[in-house]
Amino acid sequence: GNSVTQMEGPVTLSEEAFLTINCTYTATGYPSLFWYVQYPGEGLQLLLKATKADDKGSNKGFEATYRKETTSFHLEKGSVQVSDSAVYFCALLETGNQFYFGTGTSLTVIP
């Protein structure tokens, strides 16, 4: 079946530090992969996506590359800001138009 495993949190970083949040997946076919971000009291906002192997999604300084050989889609940012503090969800979308989400990783960036 389909599933997503992401790095346990919470993660606390100093401003301008490098961020990596690991995400691996299991899928029966060829999924599309996503990172969503959730701020307190809000819904999910799409951060980036990749629809096929070797694609790189990027947005607002965040990047993730779809690695089929390692079934991974790790999120990275070179220099985090306080405003990046949020919960990050890795997700896959396959047939059936159903998202499978990871458990979420809470990020806190301190000045």
Could you tell me the smallest distance in angstroms from the CB atom of residue 57 to other proteins?
A: 11
| R_g over Cα of the chain | 13
Tokens of 42: 């809000």
Could you tell me the smallest distance in angstroms from the CB atom of residue 89 to other proteins?
A: 7
User: For tokens 């401003």, what's the residue?
Assistant: 15
Contact residues toward other proteins (CB under 8 A) are 32, 34, 36, 41-46, 49, 51, 89, 91, 93, 96-104
Could you tell me the smallest distance in angstroms from the CB atom of residue 76 to other proteins?
A: 21
User: Which CB sits closer to other proteins, 17 or 99?
Assistant: 99
Q: Which residues of 30-66 are buried (b: 16+ CB within 10 A; e: fewer)?
A: ebbbbbbbeeeeeeeeebbbbeeeeeebeeeebbbbb
User: Which CB sits closer to other proteins, 26 or 51?
Assistant: 51
Could you tell me the smallest distance in angstroms from the CB atom of residue 32 to other proteins?
A: 3
User: Which CB sits closer to other proteins, 13 or 93?
Assistant: 93
User: For tokens 């896959």, what's the residue?
Assistant: 92
